[in-house]
Structure 1
Amino acid sequence: MTESAPARSPEQRKQDVLHRLEHDEDVWVATASPQGVPCLVPLSFVWDRNTLLLATRRTNPTAVNVTPKGRVRLSLGHTRDVVLIDGEAEIVEGAELPTSSGDAFAEKLKWDLRGRPAWVYLRVRPHGIKAWREENELAGRDLMTDGSWLV
């Protein structure tokens, strides 16, 4: 059995989550169809104005699935450094995207989808964020509830 590092403080966990949101490029996105068929895919993202901005083809199941209710679950990290984000997603057409948001996405990911009608952006507003590494961090894993940071 491996020995666990000491549990991080809630403040440190929040800092670590914000660092990942600023620097990671891809996130796992889980959605479900109206019939309950799950879909899990990695998508590129940028953290922009306290939301995640992702992109996918408008005909992909992820974009189709967010239309009915907009609920998504996102995951950053691996099994020993988990960040789970529950949120509401909305589809944003490239022409409707604020210029600064489109510029941030293009700058970070070197990929500009504005003006490409086959693609849409997904704007995800987090309402819950959990983060933990090992069992010793399970008790304090909730960092955001109802869209408000707890720390």
Structure 2
Amino acid sequence: MTEREPARGPEQRKQDALDRLEKDEDVWVATASADGVPCLVPLWFVWDRGTLLLATRRTNPTAVNVTPSGPVRLALGHTRDVVLIEGTAEIVEGADLPTESGDAFAGKFHWDLRGRPAWVYLRITPATVRAWREANEQAGRDLMLDGTWLV
């Protein structure tokens, strides 16, 4: 029988989620087209002022699927330590990106997409953040609801 770690408290879960947002490089991004065709891709991201900043080609399905309401779902980590984020996405042109945001993305990945018209940035504003490892953390997995941290 596999021994499981004890359940983390909400404060520790939030800190672990924030650590992942600061340090991880890749996030799974799920969107859907207007006719409901799903799209799931990994993209690089930067945790930038309480939002996730990603980049993709403007013609890729992920960018095309971003509507004015921009619903999106993101997942960090593996299945035994997941951070699941639901939020809204907006397209930000490189010329409209705040300098510090563009510098943060370029600094983390050594790749500056500002000034490249084929690319756009996606800014994801979290509305819901959930984090859990095992079944013993299912209860209380909500860390953020309606854009407000619960802990």
Q: Quick check: TM above 0.5?
A: yes
Give the structure 2 partner of residue 150 of structure 1.
150
Alignment partner of 1:33 is 2:30: no
Q: Provide the secondary structure at the position in 2 that maps to 1:108.
A: helix
Identity rate, percent: 80
Moved over 2 A (4+): none
Q: Provide the secondary structure at the position in 2 that maps to 1:69.
A: coil
Give the structure 2 partner of residue 122 of structure 1.
122
* TM-score, normalising length: structure 1: 0.98
Partners of 1:34 and 1:68 within 8 A in 2: no
TM-superposed deviation, 1:69: 2.8
Give the structure 1 partner of residue 16 of structure 2.
16
Gaps of 5+ in 1: none
TM-superposed deviation, 1:68: 4.6
- In the alignment, the residues of structure 2 paired with residue 22 and residue 111 of structure 1 have an alpha-carbon distance, to the nearest angstrom, of 18
Partners of 1:82 and 1:131 within 8 A in 2: yes
Gaps of 5+ in 2: none
Give the structure 2 partner of residue 96 of structure 1.
96
- Could you say what the CA RMSD is over the residues aligned between the two structures, in angstroms? 0.7
- In the alignment, the residues of structure 2 paired with residue 33 and residue 61 of structure 1 have an alpha-carbon distance, to the nearest angstrom, of 8
Partners of 1:67 and 1:91 within 8 A in 2: no
- In the alignment, the residues of structure 1 paired with residue 60 and residue 45 of structure 2 have an alpha-carbon distance, to the nearest angstrom, of 16
Partners of 1:46 and 1:105 within 8 A in 2: yes
Give the structure 1 partner of residue 42 of structure 2.
42
Q: How many residues align?
A: 151
Partners of 1:86 and 1:126 within 8 A in 2: yes
TM-superposed deviation, 1:140: 1.0
Alignment partner of 1:141 is 2:135: no
- In the alignment, the residues of structure 2 paired with residue 98 and residue 69 of structure 1 have an alpha-carbon distance, to the nearest angstrom, of 22
- In the alignment, the residues of structure 2 paired with residue 105 and residue 68 of structure 1 have an alpha-carbon distance, to the nearest angstrom, of 24
